[in-house]
Amino acid sequence: MKPVRFDYRRPADVASAIALARHDDLTVKFIAGGQSLGPMLNLRLVQPDLLIDLTGVAELKQVVETPEALIVGACITHADIEDGRVPDVARGALRSLAAGIAYRAVRNRGTIGGSVSHADPAADWIAGLAAIEEFVTGVFENTLAPGELVEAVRVPRLSERARWGFYKVSRKAGDFAHAIGAVLEDPGRGIRRAVIGATGSKPIVWAAPGNWPDTNRADGFDQQLVRDALTANGVRDPVRQQIHVAALQRAFARAFAS
């Protein structure tokens, strides 16, 4: 099966891309790396009237580092991050996470902005960048309005005391995740986050410094708290629950291993 016919444009700047996208009578899609959109076009799961190619927009390939954060342009590839062409202000977390995404061929083309915009519940960045919990609203759904696009992703700089852990359960390397656990504790910034990803919906996030499945509890990792959260979010199968519990527990173990 091949895509239906569509018009194609390759603008040179963000303003032109947004202007092209503002057609109330057309179905418009942006494309950057195309690692997710390409197969969907071939299967006719997406049938746009107009495809706007963002690879010629230099603004979306910029990286700006400040004392507080890193601003990563939406068209920066996973391989750019994996190979260290982008500063890692997250104490190695960005490079580690990028290196675990799919296969090298995918990482060479796939972009961070495209992954975030696509909002696939099983995507590594969706769970790893837990601050996007308010941006992702559901399966392949986000808060972008028609004619809007992601220009950049802002990653706060972690302090020297920060600890993080990320663990993904997949059938084999490169496959979509069945479960993702992510943990971040940064005493210097007063942040504690634990995330369950790849649930089939938006990530489950503990963002408060209070009640979370802490491995420092006297009786160990709070599995029941995780199971209750999964149940409340529609994950009721005991086997699926156990896989998610194990992924998050191992993420905690990695975060606090030393």
Residue 54 Cα to chain centre, angstroms: 19
Taking the C-alpha atoms of residue 249 and residue 166, their distance in angstroms, rounded to an integer, is 10
Q: Measured in Å, how far apart are the chain's first and last C-alpha atoms?
A: 52
Taking the C-alpha atoms of residue 54 and residue 76, their distance in angstroms, rounded to an integer, is 11
- Predicted confidence band at 209 (pLDDT cuts at 50, 70, 90)? very low
Q: In this structure, which amino acid lies at residue 203?
A: P
Residue-wise pLDDT tens digits, 71-80: 999 999 999 9
pTM: 0.91
Residue-wise pLDDT tens digits, 85-140: 999 999 999 999 999 999 999 999 999 999 999 999 899 999 999 767 789 988 89
Structural tokens at position 3? 């895509």
CA-wise closest residue to 119 among 94, 137, 101: 137
Taking the C-alpha atoms of residue 136 and residue 175, their distance in angstroms, rounded to an integer, is 22
Contacts of 174 (CB under 8 A, 6+ apart): 102, 103, 106
Contacts of 192 (CB under 8 A, 6+ apart): 184, 185, 186, 206, 207, 208, 209, 212
Specify the range with the lowest mean pLDDT, choosing from 98-107, 136-145, 207-216: 207-216
